[in-house]
Amino acid sequence: MASVDDPRPLLHVFHIGKTGGTALNETLLEHSEACRYRLLFGGHTLTLRDVPAGERFMFVIRDPLKRFVSAFNGRLREDRPRYHYPWREEEKVAFAIFKTPDQLARALSSADGKERRQAEDAMRGIGHVNTPYSYWFEDEETFRARISDLFFIGFTDRLNDEFGLLKHKLGLPPDIRLPHEETAAHRTPAGFSTQLSDVGRANLERWYAHDMSFVQLCRELAPSVNSPG
């Protein structure tokens, strides 16, 4: 992070959990001195409320169902191998019952009331699974009021392709690359279940309805926000 007397304009970099922010933020941090902006990294706790009006911000976002799968599997392995954050009590209970993302997703509509309540408790207890996009951006009205401060919206599923545009906007050298090694990028290792059934998908779409709408809004805004002009 640059010093407080750095004359470059500020740019706040959000890190939304399970969206690919680890790889991007570490790359930007490594090359921050070459950037035409003073990058401010606030980790997972930096939200729109923390960014004064008139200061720029950027973030990467992901399809809510893919984010759910990544978050479930990440906490299932306690975020290893890159980190090791032991389960909280709520997570111990959840993972004693639900072993795969789809098992939890399907249980949200279980005819068994006890299983359904256990699933709802797990959705509220597992880290990242329990954090909607509204944690960072509040409601749509609040977010829309800050569109003029938006610098860049990235999408996890096409971040490698979009990174060239981001480098151009930041004034970074064109030869910089994002890490691809699994541990460095904090990706889910092979061997973890990632498939969702039709029932599981439908349940998650209902659970994350507001997140689904927010991602769609971001996709509509991105072409103009990300424009280099």
Q: Give pLDDT tens digits for 58-115.
A: 999 999 999 999 999 999 999 886 777 899 999 999 999 999 999 999 999 999 999 9
Strand partners, 13: 41, 58
Least confident range from 54-58, 191-195, 205-209, 224-228: namely: 191-195
The answer to the question of residue 4 being in a domain is no
CB burial class (10 A; 0-12, 13-18, 19+) of residue 113?
Answer: exposed
Question: For the chain, how many helices (H) and strands (E)?
Answer: 11, 4
User: What type of residue is 15?
Assistant: H
Question: How many folded domains does the chain comprise?
Answer: 1
Predicted confidence at residue 34, as pLDDT, reads 95
Average pLDDT over residues 14-37: 93
Domain housing 125: 10-225
140 belongs to a structural domain: yes
Is residue 1 one of the residues assigned to a domain?
A: no
Q: What is the CATH number of the domain that holds 196?
A: 3.40.50
The answer to whether residue 94 is domain-embedded is: yes
210, part of any domain: yes
2 within a domain of the structure (yes/no): no
Rg (the chain; Cα; Å):
18
pTM, entire model: 0.90
Which residues are CB-contacts of 130 (< 8 A; sequence separation ≥ 6)? 123, 124
Q: pLDDT tens digits for 103-157?
A: 999 999 999 999 999 999 999 999 999 999 999 999 999 999 999 999 999 999 9
Can you give the pLDDT at residue 191?
74
Residue 3 maps to a domain: no
Report yes or no on 110 lying in a domain: yes
pLDDT band at 222 (very low <50, low <70, confident <90, very high): very high
Q: What is the pLDDT of residues 168-185, one digit of tens each?
A: 999 999 999 998 765 444
